[in-house]
Structure 1
Amino acid sequence: MAHVTKPQPRRRSRTETGPLVGFGAFLAERRLRLGLTQVELADLADVGLSSVRTLEAGQASTTMAVALRVLDALGLSLLAVPQIDARTTGGDAVEVRGFGSER
């Protein structure tokens, strides 16, 4: 009988971040402008503190539902526009690119 090795889960280092670093920084800046702590934002959004920290760190492990709750608590909404339009928006907008996007 051959020995079968169980596949190991992929471990992400604590310093590895997803493609959402700019988005996370945008959320953290908005939170600070509103005078909120991460704990207060988590409470307002009815999500866990770790979810707020994960979003602000730009890691891609939260669900869309959690992200939408946090956006709502910050008085923001998610807007999907064609890429050409997203690059020309001004003000307090942030462009978020997916995993397969090229710069």
Structure 2
Amino acid sequence: MRYQEGLMAAKQASGIGKVALVLGLVSMFALMLTFAVAAYIGRHFPALVNQQSPAMLMLGLAVLLLVALALLSAILAVVALTQPDRRKGAALGGLLLAAISLSATAFMVIVGLGAL
């Protein structure tokens, strides 16, 4: 595509921003699924809810890994937002989804600790 002199070229999408958006989506939906599975196990199989249960250990590990994924998404989104001459939409979406994932996880952990 040719551009005339004097006209500015269209800004390119940020690849890092797209990665941040995808990681934010994956972390948010996977965390929702993990908490849903934990709630299901807690309601239907209360004998499995203890500190030595392999199922609970795996769910806890999944939550930790998904929180790390959400943090990575937030970091990549901030990096993408600082890139000059790039579109910022995907980076903002990734940052928003990461923030929602992290705040929902913090809320669920606080609610879970309050139930003890």
Alignment TM-score, normalising by the size of structure 1? 0.28
Tell me which protein shows more helix as a share of its residues.
2
Compare relative contact order (CA 8 Å, sep 6+) and give the higher one, 1 or 2.
Answer: 2
Bigger Rg over Cα:
2
Alignment TM-score, normalising by the size of structure 2? 0.26
